[in-house]
């Protein structure tokens, strides 16, 4: 492991030197999520070039586990050009300070450590809701970007294959030891979700628009931090997974986030503040139904992923979020089944799940 990290450091040094004509003075590996990338904070030796920041984030690609994505679905594309496209449209994304495509390294602006997930517990309800409304206001801007040649995000979409993959993961890892009948209940219900999604408008989505990927920027400092392309209190990271999805998708990711569980009143207030600003402006009933269907697919996948990570990867950090995911699943399933009886069997299965334990990878 030490030798491997030294290879990574050497590649980062070379990337900084070739792109910025600067010297690295310090490295700080950052805690990674469940993805396939490493992130390292890099300190740059002070130079006469005032445009260079003192720290950067080196984003380092690592080999992907093929079991972590649906069969037949291509790996996520590189960060560029989706980052540059969002930047051109005035969205708050990291600046690029250089790329080494061969080494799989992007040098990006450093937003610091204050993600919404890390600081939300310390806010008052008023402060929290105001910042969440500001975050939600980014979604119509993302969705207003028209398809652009050469940007892979516009060729990627949430489709039936991905929804079925989520169904199978949920049946295997959340319905511990489910029989074939239970698995079929899940797959049939998720197929109905896929049918509904196929009829929905498709708009550009960040795809992982959640509190862990949204960062607070201190705009009280002048000038605006060089990590950020434009002014604002919130910036986005983890952009490469962008794809085409129903207009409710990114809002669902944030407002049904497993990392920060919002009161239902806050969720509904945020939705009503932004729904009519969306390019397709779904009516309230249509929005609510698709929002809940997407919640079932996304939270079902998350609920399963947290257990998979603990059992198969030995990473138990995310078990504490399973109870939140399960509560979101139960509530969404009950609402969907009330609107559409075809989901009643799935709602029953979810309602009968043992309470997820925050410290155990498997329920009895």
Q: What is the pLDDT of residues 135-166, one digit of tens each?
A: 999 999 999 999 999 999 999 999 999 999 99
What per-residue confidence (pLDDT) applies to 71?
Answer: 60
Fill in the DSSP letter of residue 66.
G
Domain that includes residue 200, residue range: 2-351
- Let me know if residue 362 belongs to a domain: no
Summary mean pLDDT of the chain: 90
187 close to 164: Cβ distance less than 8 angstroms: yes
What per-residue confidence (pLDDT) applies to 222?
Answer: 39
- Let me know if residue 358 belongs to a domain: no
pLDDT higher than threshold 60 for residue 363: no
Q: Pseudo-torsion of CA 236, 237, 240, 246, nearest 10°?
A: -40
Mean pLDDT of 98-124: 93
What per-residue confidence (pLDDT) applies to 137?
Answer: 97
- Let me know if residue 357 belongs to a domain: no
- Let me know if residue 47 belongs to a domain: yes
* Count of structural domains within the chain: 1
Mean pLDDT of 13-39: 91
Nearest to 126 by CA among 11, 265, 237, 253: 265
Mean pLDDT of 260-279: 97
What per-residue confidence (pLDDT) applies to 1?
Answer: 57
pLDDT higher than threshold 70 for residue 359: no
pLDDT band at residue 79 using 50, 70 and 90 as cut-offs: very high
pLDDT higher than threshold 80 for residue 48: no
Nearest to 345 by CA among 186, 193, 194: 186
Mean pLDDT of 123-130: 93
> Can you tell me the distance from the alpha carbon of 78 to that of 125, in angstroms, rounded to the nearest whole number?
37
pLDDT tens readout for residues 279-317:
999 999 999 999 999 999 999 999 999 999 999 999 999
Mean pLDDT of 258-284: 97
What per-residue confidence (pLDDT) applies to 231?
Answer: 52
Dig out the tokens for 321 from the structure.
């979020």
- Between the ranges 68-82, 168-182, 340-354, where is the mean pLDDT highest? 340-354
- Let me know if residue 356 belongs to a domain: no
pTM assigned to the model: 0.93
pLDDT band at residue 62 using 50, 70 and 90 as cut-offs: confident
Mean pLDDT of 79-91: 97
Q: Which residues lie below 8 Å from residue 116, measured CB to CB, with a gap of 6+? A: 131, 132, 135, 211, 212, 214, 215, 216, 234, 260
pLDDT higher than threshold 90 for residue 52: no
349 close to 185: Cβ distance less than 8 angstroms: yes
What per-residue confidence (pLDDT) applies to 176?
Answer: 78
pLDDT higher than threshold 90 for residue 232: no
- Let me know if residue 360 belongs to a domain: no
pLDDT higher than threshold 90 for residue 177: no
pLDDT band at residue 34 using 50, 70 and 90 as cut-offs: confident
298 close to 324: Cβ distance less than 8 angstroms: no
Nearest to 90 by CA among 203, 192, 209, 235: 235
pLDDT higher than threshold 80 for residue 178: no
What per-residue confidence (pLDDT) applies to 65?
Answer: 52
What per-residue confidence (pLDDT) applies to 221?
Answer: 47
- Let me know if residue 83 belongs to a domain: yes
CATH for 10: 3.90.1200.10
Dig out the tokens for 292 from the structure.
């809940």
- Let me know if residue 315 belongs to a domain: yes
């Amino acid at each position: 492991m030490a030798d491997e990290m030294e290879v990574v450091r050497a590649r980062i040094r070379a990337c900084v030197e070739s792109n910025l004509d600067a010297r690295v003075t310090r490295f700080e590996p950052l805690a990674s999520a469940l993805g396939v990338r490493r992130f390292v904070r890099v300190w740059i030796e002070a130079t006469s070039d005032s445009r260079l920041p003192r720290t950067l984030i080196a984003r380092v690609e690592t080999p992907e586990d093929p079991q972590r994505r649906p069969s037949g679905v291509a790996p996520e594309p590189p960060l560029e050009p989706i980052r540059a496209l969002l930047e051109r449209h005035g969205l708050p994304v990291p600046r690029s300070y250089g790329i080494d495509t061969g080494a799989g390294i992007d040098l990006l602006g450093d937003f610091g450590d204050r993600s919404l997930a890390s600081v939300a517990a310390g806010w008052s309800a008023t402060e929290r809701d105001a910042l969440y409304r500001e975050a939600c206001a980014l979604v119509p801007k993302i969705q207003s970007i028209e398809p652009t040649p050469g940007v892979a995000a516009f060729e990627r979409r949430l489709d039936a294959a991905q929804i079925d993959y989520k169904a199978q993961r949920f049946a295997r890892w959340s319905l511990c030891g489910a029989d074939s009948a239970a698995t079929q209940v899940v797959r049939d219900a998720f197929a109905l979700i896929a049918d509904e999604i196929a009829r929905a408008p498709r708009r550009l989505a960040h795809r992982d628009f959640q509190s862990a990927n949204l960062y607070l920027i201190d705009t009280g400092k002048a000038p605006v931090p060089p990590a950020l392309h434009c002014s604002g209190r919130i910036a986005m990271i983890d952009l490469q997974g962008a794809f085409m999805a129903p207009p409710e998708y990114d809002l669902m990711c944030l407002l049904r986030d497993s990392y920060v569980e919002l009161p239902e009143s806050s969720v509904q207030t945020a939705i009503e503040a932004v729904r009519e600003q969306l390019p397709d402006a779904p009516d309230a009933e249509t929005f609510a139904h698709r929002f809940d269907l997407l919640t079932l697919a996304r939270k079902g996948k998350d609920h399963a992923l947290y257990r998979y990570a603990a059992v198969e990867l030995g990473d138990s950090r995310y078990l504490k979020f399973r109870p939140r995911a399960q509560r979101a699943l139960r509530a969404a399933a009950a609402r969907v089944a009330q609107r559409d009886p075809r989901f009643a069997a799935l709602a029953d299965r979810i309602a009968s799940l043992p309470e997820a334990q925050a410290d155990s990878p498997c329920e009895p």
